[in-house]
Amino acid sequence: MQRIFFNEVVTRDGFQIEPEFVPTDTKVELVNALSLCGYAKIEVTSFTSAKSIPMLRDAEEVMGRIQRVPGVEYTVLVPNVRGAERAMESKADEFNLVMSTSETHNLANLRMPRENSFAALKDVVAMAAGAVPINVSLSACFGCPMEGVVPQEEVIAWADRFATLGVRGLTICDTTGMAYPSQVSRLCEALQTRFPGLQLTLHFHNTRGMGLANVLAAARQGVDRFDGSLGGLGGCPYAPGASGNICSEDAIHMLEAEGYQTGMELAALLPIARQLPEIVGHQVPGQVAKAGRILDLHPEPSFLLDVRSKFA
């Protein structure tokens, strides 16, 4: 049975575009509850400037107050050396760095050319100097909403530059939901062949309804790490209302049904997912939290007594 390791990103990727500030107490309680559900990793917060992402301005406090569960890695997004210093003080287990494989997307998202991003991230890797493992999230690996197709060779070339720096892992992100299953299989196979020693994670968005199909395509290719966001929270800021990250509990539910071993406690996770609409003040896209698991049985309708008696 193939083991799958799941990373939860709801309190960072999920919350960061929510308009209403989620109180620090709520974030801490949420991370603490999620820590008991079997995740391999939780992306807790981001050490970006409070001005650029006001939602995550309490990064230090959240990191300081969560109860860390052994076996769970608490990772944080780190944009630059200043962020890395803060993350280091907060004793993050991993730094997650981000840049885009598409020049236009990088200019739009990070306000600088890719080469400048790479240089800044290289400084962060040097600063961490083996003391903290580094993961690099490469955005727009399956397509850019402004440039269109991002060639596979482009993704591999950037992956190669970070692998050369000695990073531990790479997250291949479908930032705007443009990936489709056969494309996912091809890229995963190419990356596994080229970088057998790297921890490879896939990060899908369900913007066009292909999120879970893409997860399955990657899992069948042997990929064993996935990001997901509780409730499917976290959309694209340029397309309000569009569904965002794949929903963790829906993906875990599917993988378990398919016979993968996720190590997750869905029975504990679903009640947490059901609290999300109250936390963010609106409905969330996740489906299993609403419909229940495949084998959560429903009571028979009362009229079945009559139907049965007719045929007795």
Nearer to Zn ion, 124 or 140 (CB): 140
* Least separation in angstroms between CB 8 and Zn ion: 12
Nearer to Zn ion, 19 or 64 (CB): 19
Tokens describing residue 237: 């800021």
Candidate ranges 5-13, 124-132, 182-190, 192-200; the one touching Zn ion (CB under 5 A): 5-13
Nearer to Zn ion, 36 or 110 (CB): 110
Is 214 near Zn ion (CB under 5 A)?
Answer: no
User: What are the C-alpha distances in Å from 42 to residues 31, 68, 163, 309?
Assistant: 8, 10, 23, 54
- Binding residues for Zn ion, rule CB under 5 A, total 2
232: left (phi over 0), alpha (psi -120 to 50) or beta: left
Catalytic residue among 37, 188, 236, 247: 236
* Least separation in angstroms between CB 245 and Zn ion: 4
Is 13 near Zn ion (CB under 5 A)?
Answer: yes
Nearer to Zn ion, 114 or 203 (CB): 203
* Least separation in angstroms between CB 77 and Zn ion: 11
d(CA 69, CA 36): 7
d(CA 80, CA 120): 6
Is 8 near Zn ion (CB under 5 A)?
Answer: no
Active site residue 141: no
Amino acid at 262: T
Question: Could you tell me the sign of the dihedral formed by the alpha carbons of 210, 212, 213, 217, in that order?
Answer: positive
Closest CA to 281 of 11, 33, 9, 21: 21
Candidate ranges 13-21, 102-110, 126-134, 258-266; the one touching Zn ion (CB under 5 A): 13-21
Nearer to Zn ion, 201 or 245 (CB): 245
Task: Look at residue 262 and give its three-state secondary structure.
Answer: coil
Candidate ranges 64-72, 139-147, 245-253, 257-265; the one touching Zn ion (CB under 5 A): 245-253
Q: Which residue has the tokens 């999230």?
A: 137
d(CA 3, CA 261): 5
Alpha-carbon radius of gyration of the chain:
20
Candidate ranges 118-126, 238-246, 291-299, 300-308; the one touching Zn ion (CB under 5 A): 238-246
Is 135 near Zn ion (CB under 5 A)?
Answer: no
Is 245 near Zn ion (CB under 5 A)?
Answer: yes
Nearer to Zn ion, 245 or 262 (CB): 245
* Least separation in angstroms between CB 46 and Zn ion: 12
Candidate ranges 124-132, 240-248, 277-285, 299-307; the one touching Zn ion (CB under 5 A): 240-248
* Least separation in angstroms between CB 246 and Zn ion: 9
Tokens describing residue 133: 């493992």
Secondary element (H or E) of residue 271: helix 266-273
Biggest CA–CA distance in the chain, Å, is 78
* Least separation in angstroms between CB 41 and Zn ion: 14
Amino acid at 94: E
Is 100 near Zn ion (CB under 5 A)?
Answer: no
Q: Which residue has the tokens 């080229």?
A: 194
Q: What angle do CA 205, 210, 216 make, to 5 degrees?
A: 95
The catalytic residue positions are: 236
- Contact footprint for Zn ion (CB under 5 A): 13, 245
